[in-house]
Amino acid sequence: MEKGKMNVHVNRIMVVLLPAIVLLMIMLGWGLGLFTHIEEEPDINEASDRIVIGVSQLGSESGWRTANTESVQRAFTKQNGYFMIFSNARQKQENQIKAIRNFISQRVDYIVLAPVVESGWETVLQEAKEAGIPVIVMDRSVSVEDESLYVTLVGTDSVEEGKKAGRWLEEHLKERRMADEDINIVVLKGTEGASAQIGRTVGFSMIAGEHDNWHILEQEYADFTIYKGKEVMAYFLEKYDDIDVVVSQNDDMTFGAIEAIRESGRTVGVGGDITIISFDAVYEALEMVAEGTINVDIECNPDQGEYISEVIRMLENGQEVEKRYYVEEDVYTMENVTQEVLDARIY
Ligand code: GZL
């Protein structure tokens, strides 16, 4: 083909291929999170007489988080008199701070914040306070000198959850006449700096500290995810060949850890080589409790949207609200995970 015609031919191909290449690059960039996640923000002008809520959710790292988000979506509906602007921060505090500033500029009526970590909120919460916008903290807690920077927290008592895990292990060992035997424990910790992780670590350590024969071999962060849970558990299994108990601070890390343990040729759960203590009690994990794969699951109830809506109604009516509201939580073992419990589960 002559050079000139070749050029025309190549140009024609490029005209066709170029848009496809650009589209592919955009999709790849989006998938890699190269673009700041811009929520398709609803038009606030449609809010009219509804209560406008800005929700800063920390991410979508676990099944628990998905259930927590769903509970918020169930509560803040148009039918319930709300107009919700929702932001997913993808585990980044700076994205939550941006979202809160965006809510302030949009003059929302309330801000609901599920803080990815407990520190670093003073400045932006002060801005919300100066804008006269009440902040309700959801799920995890914030660590601030001035507690007037938020109206209330609706969440869970993670220190108590950690203690529940320790108390269950005490009973478990007593029942097996192993109360005085040396017990080797590893801990999969959630997101560094998250109050849920800090509280569960502190709570379990308080009970463990009462038993000289309990040896916490190592505690590592595994970010509340399946992938990191498997990776860190594989590291523990490589390093220690005498692990008796895994304390995994959420079910997603537990799922990953169980995979790693089984791939190492060891068994888990009731009658297994390694005892599994988990947190959250999401549906899939409760099924594993019922079959004996997970020995115990300390519930952390994500269904908090309705509670927050009730608090907002009280505030709208000029009523006083408490500084903290804890949702109900239970402890699940083979003995109390019945089909009835599973059938009634909404998460
Ligand atoms: C606990 C919550 C934790 C869950 C995890 O209150 O913050 O975050 O335990 C979730 O599953 O990722």
Domain boundaries defined on the chain: 47-155+303-316, 158-300+333-344
Those residues with Cβ within 8 angstroms of residue 327's Cβ, 6 or more apart along the chain or in another chain: 154, 155, 156, 301, 303, 304, 307
Q: What separation in Å is there between the alpha carbon of 105 and the centre of ligand 1?
A: 29
Report the pLDDT averaged over residues 197-221: 98
What is the DSSP secondary structure assignment for residue 274, as one 8-state letter? B
Residue whose Cα lies nearest atom 1 of ligand 1: it is: 196
Q: What is the DSSP string of 193-235?
A: T-HHHHHHHHHHHHHHTT-TTEEEEEEEE-TT-HHHHHHHHHH
Instruction: Quote the CA–CA distance of 251 and 229 in Å, as a whole number.
Output: 9
**Candidate CATH numbers 1.10.10.410, 3.40.50.10490, 3.40.50.2300, 3.40.109.10; the one for domain 47-155+303-316:** 3.40.50.2300
Report the pLDDT averaged over residues 210-214: 98
pLDDT digits (tens, 9 = 90+) for 132-155: 999 999 999 999 999 999 999 999
Q: 12-26, 111-125, 271-285: which has the minimum mean pLDDT?
A: 12-26
Residue pair 74/61 in contact (Cβ under 8 Å)? The answer is: no
Q: What separation in Å is there between the alpha carbon of 89 and the centre of ligand 1?
A: 15
Pairing of strands 331-332, 214-221: unpaired
Instruction: Quote the CA–CA distance of 114 and 91 in Å, as a whole number.
Output: 11
Q: What separation in Å is there between the alpha carbon of 251 and the centre of ligand 1?
A: 9
Q: Do domains 47-155+303-316 and 158-300+333-344 have the same CATH topology?
A: yes
pLDDT at 34 over 50: no
Q: What is the pLDDT of residue 15?
A: 56
Note the CATH number of domain 158-300+333-344: 3.40.50.2300
**Residue 216 buriedness (CB in 10 A; 0-12 / 13-18 / 19+):** middle
Residue pair 37/90 in contact (Cβ under 8 Å)? The answer is: yes
Percent of the chain with pLDDT over 70: 87
pLDDT band of 20, cuts 50, 70, 90: low
Q: What separation in Å is there between the alpha carbon of 64 and the centre of ligand 1?
A: 6
Q: What is the pLDDT of residue 21?
A: 64
pLDDT digits (tens, 9 = 90+) for 288-320: 999 999 999 999 999 999 999 999 999 999 999
- Amino acid identity of residue 182, one-letter, is D
List all residues whose CB is within 6 A of at least one atom of ligand 1.
Answer: 61-62, 64-65, 139-140, 156, 196, 224, 250, 252, 279-280, 300
pLDDT band of 1, cuts 50, 70, 90: very low
Angle separating helix axes 158-175 and 195-208, nearest 10 degrees: 30
